[in-house]
Homo-oligomer: A and B are copies of this chain.
Amino acid sequence: MDVYGSIVLLSGPSGAGKSSLVAEIEKEIKNIFFSVSTTTRQKRDGEKDGVDYYFVTKEQFEKDIKENLFLEWAEVHGNYYGTSLKHTIDALKVGKIVIFDIDVQGFLQAKEKIGELITSVFVTTPSLTDLKSRLIQRGTDSLDVIEKRVQNAKKELLFAKKYDYFIVNDDFQKAKENLLQIVNVSKVKTSSINLDNFIKKWLE
C-alpha cells in the first residue's frame, strides 16, 4: 500500500513533559523524524546546527518567508523562529512520521495550511499548581520566567479544544502509552494513505 508519512503536532505548557515524551517515542518508533526549527537567533554554547536549530541569517529567513517556505513562523524578541516546509516534506516523502513541538500560534497556522494531514495533541499537567512546582523543581528558569510561562500556559489551555487529542501527564507511563498509540494510528489515517491508488489496484 502506498503510504504517505504523517505529521504529529505536540503543544502544551513548558514543563508538561513534552520533550521527555518525545524522547521516549523516538526510542520506540522507528522511522520518526523530529522536526528541527529554523531560527535567526545566535547559536549558544554547545548548540549544534541541524540538531538544536537550523541557524540562518535574517536575510535568508525573510527570503524564505516571501517564498512561502515555512509551515509556520513567528518573530519573538527580534528573532525569527519557524518550521521549514521543505524538511517536513522531504521526511514525508520517504514515509516518515514527523513530530513537532509547536506553540499554539504555530499550530493554528499549520492547521490552516495542512489541517487534513495533521494529528494534533495537547499535553498538560494535571493542574496549574503542579505546573508551577515542576518548573521550580526543574531549576532552569528564573521566577520571572516561570511566571511568564504560567501566564502563557493559562492562555494556551483555552485553545486545547482545537486539538485532536488531549493528554494529562499525571502518570508518565500512561501518557507515553497514549502518545505512542496516537503516533502509531496516525499511520492508518485515510489522509496518510494513497487511497486512490489502493482503490484502483483493489478493483483490478
Binding site for B on A (CB under 8 A): 1, 122, 124, 126-128, 154, 157-158, 160-168, 178, 181-182, 184-185, 188-190, 193, 195, 198-199, 201-204
- A203 contacts B161, CB within 8 Å? no
- A157 contacts B202, CB within 8 Å? yes
Further contacts, 7 of them, CB under 8 A, given A127-B201, A168-B198: A1-B168, A127-B204, A128-B203, A154-B203, A165-B185, A166-B198, A178-B188
Secondary structure call for the A interface: helix
- A195 contacts B160, CB within 8 Å? yes
Complex CA–CA separation, A7 to B73 (angstroms): 36
Which B residues are in CB contact (< 8 Å) with A181? 181, 184-185
Query: Which residue of chain B has the shortest Cβ distance to A158 in the bound complex?
Result: B199
- B199 contacts A160, CB within 8 Å? yes
Report the minimum CB–CB distance from A139 to chain B (whole Å).
24
The residue from B154, B163, B166, B185 contacting A178, defined by CB atoms under 8 A apart: B185
- A199 contacts B157, CB within 8 Å? yes
The residue from B162, B190, B202, B204 contacting A163, defined by CB atoms under 8 A apart: B190
Report the minimum CB–CB distance from A21 to chain B (whole Å).
13
Complex CA–CA separation, A202 to B129 (angstroms): 8
Which B residues are in CB contact (< 8 Å) with A157? 199, 202-203
Which B residues are in CB contact (< 8 Å) with A203? 128, 154, 157
